[in-house]
Structure 1
Amino acid sequence: MRLIAKDFSQLSKEELYEILKARQEVFVVEQARAYQDLDELDYESFHVFYEEDDRVLAYLRAFLKEGEPGTIQMSRVLTVERGNGIGGKLLKDGIAAIVEEKDPERIYLEAKNFAVGFYEREGFQAVSDEFEVDGQAHVAMVLEINQDN
């Protein structure tokens, strides 16, 4: 298993296919949600994923949050297989890759309510009341990046 972190233009067509396949598997099929997963944000995103045998096992993307200089927004966080610790590993290593490559002041995300504890373990803090996205309850969360390094 290896960690890969690339801007959109650096992705091979095979990597992009496997990323989109994993996103569809988790967010559309498994969660039984009909929504437009492909959006223009993929083009400007930093894609971080674990792959093994040419298959994406865990994935997230990050992009500049509109109207908030210094803030990177993280989204589409997923694991294809759960219970093996890869999700926590991806989050920790993904944050490190984002900080190294993009040098943000903070990382923002919109967490589903059931995943708030997952993000809190890496230092994210809830910064909003509950709101709905595609029929699911979410909370905005922020991780402040220590700029003293």
Structure 2
Amino acid sequence: MSTLREQFTADLKTAMKAGEKGKVAAIRLIQSALKDKDIEARGAGKGEATPDEILALLQKMIKQRQESIAIYDANGRPELAEGERAEVAVISSYLPKQMSDEEIKAAIEEVIAETGASAVKDMGKVIGALRAAYAGQMDFAKVSPMVKQLLGG
């Protein structure tokens, strides 16, 4: 498949033929969110969402579902949490392989060396370079504290 959009459509057809209702619902959610993103972009005078924007959208969708899972688990609603976990599994399948903590640390150290960052005030420069190079491959909520620590913060 050449694009994620085409992959969503092909996977939706396959899931429908196989009768995988959960997967069909999750892919339709992705397509709906993507359509909303495209409409928003058109309103701002841009074209369709770029591949990086699609990856960011998928990560946002996963984060929303993880928050819902925590709420459902805390309130004794395991059946709802299970549905959200199934959606997370489908959405995650479209993201690039996530980097391990060791790989993230090595990437941060490499970017710090490349950018010449030396203090916490350079954190934005480091995070920006990481986002450009590793979009979709790392959880930036975890990355920020690691960058701060490595810059001596």
TM-score normalised to the size of structure 1?
A: 0.27
Rg (Cα) greater in structure: 2
Structure with the largest fraction of strand:
1
TM-score normalised to the size of structure 2?
A: 0.26
Structure with the largest fraction of helix:
2
